[in-house]
Structure 1
Amino acid sequence: MPLLTVVGLIGFCAVLSALSNAPTPPKPMYATADMSVLSLPSTEGGSNTETNLSLPVKVFDSENRGIGDANVIAWSPDRKKAYSGVTDLEGNVILKILNPGLPPGKAEGYIKIKVMREGYRDFTSDYLLRCFGAELPWTDLMLEESEARRILDLASALFLRTSCSPYFLFSVFSFYLCLLQQ
């Protein structure tokens, strides 16, 4: 009987040792950009305008602490170009995005992002930043392009202070402006 107790105790200790040496699961991480909407310049008429954007990205953990040395990869809305960077000790990186394009036949698209770091689960967002072309549907509202741009800029600024979509705010302001013009 004492032999079985000793063998059982050794087996129990072996199981506890195996459980205590198990690797810890990776922690979650997240990434955000300082902006949520981006307007791309028009390429109509064969315009070769260079577009150089600086996209600040913040990578942080579940306790809102910045994660350093994380690899950040972003894809343009048409998914033809990729841009990358490594975060600093505070979890910040500025990605230089050169000449992003929209998907063929689309008036809008999204910048996709993937963040990787050892000890953390990979973070992926297909909708980090909404991009739209200069060809917005303001002709349906009978607005001049400059008026629509001003309204959209105001709507985007209000979006940062409220939870409403900038396109919802754009629609409200456009309707109000159309009423004033009549």
Structure 2
Amino acid sequence: MTSKTSSQKIRATIIKIEGWLNGELSRSGVYVYRLYLHQKQREYEAKLPLAIEREEQLRLASQQAKLKETERIIKTREKEALKHADTRAIARRALGKTRQIPLVLKTQVIDENNIKFEGKCPYCSNLIGTNRGHIDHIYPIIMGGLTKIENLLYVCSQCNLKKSSSTLMEFCTSKSGLNFEILSKELNAVGKRF
């Protein structure tokens, strides 16, 4: 029996060698290899959308993380800016460099105008009603003027809007046609320093 088995092995080997020589085995080997490649390509193509989707998800997650970090930085900077703005506002108030005029000071300026200028605008001499006037910084805050009684006047709204942020000299010479020397002497006489 062992001899038959060995002879069968020998015949199988001979058949394989003949197949190689005839090219049959190589063709079938190439065919099998091609099937293998097609199967692997199909597996890759099936996995590709999942990989692309994962990559897209990672990219979106990264963008969201960057956006959250940017928002956090902006909020932190806004908080710091508010702290500094509060500090600057306190310093301005302490130095008198603020546009907000306390009610007590407003009342003093209006009363002073009623006494010293008889309720008339110091610039145009028109009568000012109690609710129609503005408090003017003679020397503008934007140029370093202070919110102190010596730098404040109760004037008519038209003159204050014309004057805007200009100095008294600019207002007299270019915007109103007033005589600067006369007006400055009048204001100095009533205790205004600008």
Q: TM-score, normalised by structure 1?
A: 0.29
Structure with bigger helix share is 2
Structure with bigger strand share is 1
> Greater relative contact order (Cα 8 A, min sep 6): structure 1 or 2?
1
Larger radius of gyration: 2
Q: TM-score, normalised by structure 2?
A: 0.28
